[in-house]
Structure 1
Amino acid sequence: MRNLEIATLFHEIADLLEIKDDNAFKIRAYRRAAMNLESLTEEIEAVAARGGLADIAGIGKDLAAKIRQALETGRMAYLDELRAEIPRGVVELMAIPGVGPKTAKLLFQQLQVDSVETLESLALQGKLLGLPGVKQKTVDNILKGIQVVKAGRERMPLGRALPLAHELVRILEQLPEVRQISLAGSLRRMRETVKDVDLLVTSAQPAKIMAVFTSLPQVSEVLLQGETKATIRHREGIQVDLRVVEPDCFGAALQYFTGSKTHNIRVREFAVRKGLKVSEYGVFQEATGTRIAGAGEEEVYNAIGLPYIPPELREDAGEVEAALEGRLPHLLTLSDLRGDLHAHTNWTDGHHTLEALIEAAQRKGYEYIIVSDHSRAATVAGGISEEKLLEQIGRIRALSKKYPKIRILAGSECDILADGSLDFPDRALAQLDIVVCAIHSRFKQDRAGMTARIVKALSNPYVHIFAHPTGRLIGERDPYDVDMEAVLAAARQYGKALEINAQPSRLDLNDHHARQAKELGVKLAISTDTHVLDQLDNMALGVAVARRAWLEKADVINTWPLDKLLTWAHKSRPKVA
């Protein structure tokens, strides 16, 4: 069993304990253990084999025993006991935005609701009205939340699909029969959600590749197996298609199966005007049928008179015109980033010390790392008081002597309160190097109120970055209702940066809004919002969003050297006595 499977079991235990209204600390322990397993870079089987389970943060003797039991038997006895008390469908209700454990329990006890489908039917019939605390607005919000859940079932978030795909690539590329292998489809274009995974391979022995692929332990069901194509259902639920193609047409097949469909239509229309035909088998002269390109993807584009267009741009969003006019952007790369501007420690809801965060950032070669723990209003996250913040600043300044090769930026993820004021007074914010502000409450504020709230926060001279600006959680929670045009205009007016949050469940801003920001001259920060050290690696997902948004190095503030970053941050803020 892989890390994600064990983590899923722990999350389910926590869900069931929440429904039972069990001990909050016990629930939190299972959540923390699940999060740590999700971020673990080493396979849990290997950790268990060397006796290292207890070394994983949040895994004590009891949880280590449950992990060993799951690895040996595929089950957890404790989870089976909880499942016997509460139907699985009741837990699924909690995935609906606005339906917490108490509501799920109420729905089950009062109306025997044990599935999302049953809940939707009863809500549409008006049968939820009259339950304690349930009004028409509640019903409307539940129905809206159900649509979010349904959409999430159909597509897998990029942050979940990409590791699964990379694991398959790592296995297959080790086969001596595999000559070339690549991801294709929407996953290669780094769409924020994907319906399936596409893999392309060249090999002289396709039958051997098919046999190995369809017998992998990751396979839960073989849907199709032919001579050069196989389709399986991954045990995580997503469909995976594997095609073996000839080496002479690998580039053409890669271009074709990467898509998007609308991009490919534009490419083919352009080729036709030059007397050429493009297919997954190559580029051919229309008149003679002679193939003139196909082995490499770049040569496919060059053969029809276009420069190579990076996969992330292939959405028929102006990339063909830009290519023709020599305006394709020099897209941002992961190596361009000099630091991370949103990270937490165990002073609030992070799972590591200040020192551990700093050392992890140093190992990544960063020039700077921020400590941006939650402010006091974020009580669920253990937000700190002003007094505690000043204590932390002092600790950070003292640690700078111990770590001279990296700058530790004193920061805060400071809550934007309902009226747009900041959770810390200006006198505290003035002590910080970088101030990150964010919404963590009152998500259902009306559009005018939410917009005014954010614009007011951006007008604060001590604020620098607006984190996860739409508040969405992919497949779990819709963005809050806000006028993003007004937010972008305020960011430009006040010289603030908006964040691309690289947490797999957020990717917020999305590529559409990030491109709008670029076009308006609004700067972006790409940050990981790290709570567990392995989440620092999520920066690659943020860079993927940035590339889809056509962002270049100059558009992103954490590509700047430290002196430029601090000059930008401090140039206009007044001094506080």
Structure 2
Amino acid sequence: MAYSNAAAAAVFDEIADLLEVQGGNAFRVRAYRNAARTLAGLGRSAKEMIAAGEDLDDLPGIGKDLAGKIAEIVATGSCVQLDALRKELPEGITELLRLPGIGPRRVQALRGALGVQCLADLQAAAEQGRIRGVRGFSRDAERRILDAIIALLKTQRRVPLATAAPMAAALLAELQTVAGVQQAAVAGSLRRRRDTVGDIDLLVSAGRGSPVMERFAGGNGVQRVLAKGSTRASIVLQGGVQVDLRVVPQASFGAALLYFTGSKPHNIALRRLAQEAGLKLNEYGLFQGAHRVAGDTEESVYRALGLPWIDPELREDSGELDAARADRLPHLVRLQELRGDLHVHTSDSDGRDSLRVMAEAAAARGLSYIAVTDHSRRLAIAHGLDAGRLARQIDLIDAMNEQLSGITLLKGVEVDILKDGKLDLPGAILQRLDLVVGAVHERFDLPADQQTARLLRAMDHPYFSILAHPAARLLGEREPCAFDLERVLRHARERGCFMELNGQPTRLDLDDHACRMARDIGVLVSIASDAHGLLEFGHLDWGVGQARRGWLEARHVLNTRPLEEVRRLLDATMGRSEAAVTS
């Protein structure tokens, strides 16, 4: 079974990690990382491009050598170089690299200083207090490492949505070509678009004699087969992701899709509703005695229970059944309703593409405006802009807007919120912008009361428009900051500024619960890609999925509005009255 782009990207990321652990050439490591990002954000299937005879080495950051390796991965599900690197290093190194907060350089340092080769070695070193003696590691870092190990051992490793989704899509595309297959769909938490998934659930309806199970279990990307029967199989893909497949009759497909999509609390609530009506609901259908009342489609099951169809993202038993009974289900926001993107980076800071390239890529995706929000000076690692460089970028944007057609560039910045709540750039330059996006990039561990005060003070700045990735979480790597979310949201409403839902797959911040709270309090949410390259505008789709889980409609989202309205709303955050704008 052919590997997806995301899986091929994972191979390149692992090669880069293992090379870095070995102390390999930095340029070579960077080449693999750039290639992984290109593949992960590619809008087309590499397999299809190869089949069409297209040259992959025309892609950004992909030369002939890497193009050859992509073809190898697509054809075989593996890569000779990765297999060789795995043999050169202890087996436990890969496990160490999956630990939050432990990157390749830290693994290299711990191997050299303490001889750490696996998770058990690292745990013993942390428990014995030896890690704090290694250069670059503090007592607090040692404690965090031990906490991360304990947490990892307690919970199953989860996969980011943006990693699992392309894998599932590639598997489905393959299964749909198998003889006898009538329907195929993604189920489980992936269909509900949770930010991470424990495994991938697939559902197929197929006639007797279909070789779908053999095809599923015998693909190139399969690392091992856990179970294989006539109606259910489980495999583990290269990289450790488990995939479960269930095969059902066509007459039961809707009931099975409903059942295996979940969530479990939603299913329990539905079964209780069926019982109250004298019916029985399971994965085979909705029954009255031995008679199947419904089950070929999800809609038929919901309808027989007196309910409209409920979007999968809402199925968490968090009020959706009451809303359905009262005909108050939200009309969830859709990707095509986004008119702009208010958080975009260019090569002026840490982005990979120029201002013009990003503008043209946004226009090609149907957006009518984007905000250029390169980092401020404090974030030196991102080559942040000082006041002088930002002033030159402002002039460049003004000039470019005179030349562009179909897209408007808004002048902005992603300014650091300092520990005391002040902003990283002076007001004299900020007031020249269309919007100011504030973000926390350090001191994530402040106590909740101090972190809350920091955010409130930042929002009180006379030039402040949007709070970016408010919890500053990185899925699987960094826990969200502790702060009083409700207080921050109520202050944002009073101040008239907005909250961001960052669509970066490792962030998805605001989370779904925070989105729903923002909606209820009356704060508009900006769904942003935080794109650092032309291929990353696709992150808007992940942000929309999170927004849908948070019950957001288009009217709750800032950037579903036309440019003129967005300008008026942003001007208000920057202290500019409508009269001043129109004069």
TM-score, normalising length from structure 1? Answer: 0.91
AA aligned to 2:233 is: A
> Does residue 34 of structure 1 match 2:36?
yes
- Structure 1 residues 19 and 455, CA, compared in 2 at 3 Å: closer, same or farther? farther
> Does residue 159 of structure 1 match 2:132?
no
Partner SS, residue 391 of structure 1:
helix
- Cα distance in 2 between the residues matched to 1:562 and 1:449: 36
CA deviations over 1:255-305 (Å, ceiling 9, x no partner): 1111111111111111211111111122222xx432221112111011111
- Structure 1 residues 229 and 104, CA, compared in 2 at 3 Å: closer, same or farther? closer
Counterpart residue number, 1:174:
177
Counterpart residue number, 1:7:
9
- Structure 1 residues 150 and 517, CA, compared in 2 at 3 Å: closer, same or farther? farther
AA aligned to 1:318 is: G
> Does residue 195 of structure 1 match 2:203?
no
1:256 aligned to 255, 259, 284, which one? Answer: 259
- Cα distance in 2 between the residues matched to 1:492 and 1:257: 39
Deviation at 1:160, TM superposition (A): 0.7
Kept in 1, the 8 Å contact 2:179–2:211? The answer is no
Deviation at 1:40, TM superposition (A): 2.5
Kept in 2, the 8 Å contact 1:332–1:546? The answer is yes
Cα RMSD after superposing both structures: 2.8
> Does residue 481 of structure 1 match 2:482?
yes
Deviation at 1:98, TM superposition (A): 4.5
Counterpart residue number, 2:310:
309
Partner SS, residue 340 of structure 1:
strand
Counterpart residue number, 1:358:
359
- Structure 1 residues 166 and 503, CA, compared in 2 at 3 Å: closer, same or farther? same
Deviation at 1:161, TM superposition (A): 0.7
> Does residue 212 of structure 1 match 2:208?
no
Deviation at 1:479, TM superposition (A): 1.4
Structure 2 residue ranges without an equivalent (≥5): 578-583
Partner SS, residue 154 of structure 1:
coil
CA deviations over 1:312-332 (Å, ceiling 9, x no partner): 111111111111222211111
- Further displaced range: 11-20 or 508-517: 11-20
Deviation at 1:485, TM superposition (A): 2.8
Deviation at 1:544, TM superposition (A): 0.9
- Cα distance in 1 between the residues matched to 2:322 and 2:433: 45
- Further displaced range: 561-570 or 125-134: 125-134
Describe how 1:501-520 pairs up with structure 2 within 5 A.
501-520=502-521
Partner SS, residue 412 of structure 2:
strand
Describe how 1:268-287 pairs up with structure 2 within 5 A.
268-285=271-288
Partner SS, residue 220 of structure 1:
strand
Kept in 2, the 8 Å contact 1:148–1:475? The answer is no
AA aligned to 2:282 is: S
> Does residue 247 of structure 1 match 2:240?
no
- Structure 1 residues 56 and 562, CA, compared in 2 at 3 Å: closer, same or farther? same
CA deviations over 1:111-134 (Å, ceiling 9, x no partner): 221122321233234444544565
CA deviations over 1:121-179 (Å, ceiling 9, x no partner): 33234444544565543322212233455578522111111111111112222345222
Partner SS, residue 350 of structure 1:
coil
- Further displaced range: 332-341 or 116-125: 116-125
Kept in 1, the 8 Å contact 2:255–2:297? The answer is yes
- Cα distance in 2 between the residues matched to 1:292 and 1:68: 49
Partner SS, residue 356 of structure 1:
helix
Deviation at 1:33, TM superposition (A): 2.8
- Cα distance in 2 between the residues matched to 1:455 and 1:338: 29
Kept in 2, the 8 Å contact 1:438–1:469? The answer is yes
Deviation at 1:94, TM superposition (A): 5.1
- Structure 1 residues 15 and 571, CA, compared in 2 at 3 Å: closer, same or farther? same
- Further displaced range: 289-298 or 3-12: 3-12
AA aligned to 1:334 is: L
Describe how 1:54-453 pairs up with structure 2 within 5 A.
54-60=57-63, 74-75=78-79, 80=84, 84=88, 87=90, 89-90=92-93, 92-93=95-96, 95-99=98-102, 103-132=106-135, 134-147=137-150, 149-150=152-153, 154-175=157-178, 177-205=180-208, 207-285=210-288, 288-453=289-454
- Further displaced range: 266-275 or 39-48: 39-48
Deviation at 1:62, TM superposition (A): 6.3
Counterpart residue number, 2:581:
none
Kept in 1, the 8 Å contact 2:161–2:195? The answer is yes
How many residues of Structure 1 are paired with residues of Structure 2 in the alignment? 573
AA aligned to 1:548 is: R
- Cα distance in 2 between the residues matched to 1:69 and 1:497: 46
Partner SS, residue 422 of structure 2:
coil
- Cα distance in 2 between the residues matched to 1:147 and 1:170: 38
- Further displaced range: 179-188 or 47-56: 47-56
Kept in 2, the 8 Å contact 1:340–1:369? The answer is yes
Kept in 2, the 8 Å contact 1:206–1:228? The answer is no
- Cα distance in 2 between the residues matched to 1:22 and 1:195: 33
AA aligned to 1:161 is: A
Counterpart residue number, 1:492:
493
Structure 1 residue ranges without an equivalent (≥5): none
AA aligned to 2:183 is: Q
Kept in 1, the 8 Å contact 2:123–2:149? The answer is yes
- Cα distance in 1 between the residues matched to 2:75 and 2:170: 22
CA deviations over 1:492-522 (Å, ceiling 9, x no partner): 2212211111111111111111111111112
Kept in 1, the 8 Å contact 2:18–2:85? The answer is no
Deviation at 1:93, TM superposition (A): 3.8
- Structure 1 residues 188 and 66, CA, compared in 2 at 3 Å: closer, same or farther? closer
- Cα distance in 1 between the residues matched to 2:93 and 2:300: 54
Identity of aligned residues (%): 44
Deviation at 1:38, TM superposition (A): 2.2
Deviation at 1:100, TM superposition (A): 5.2
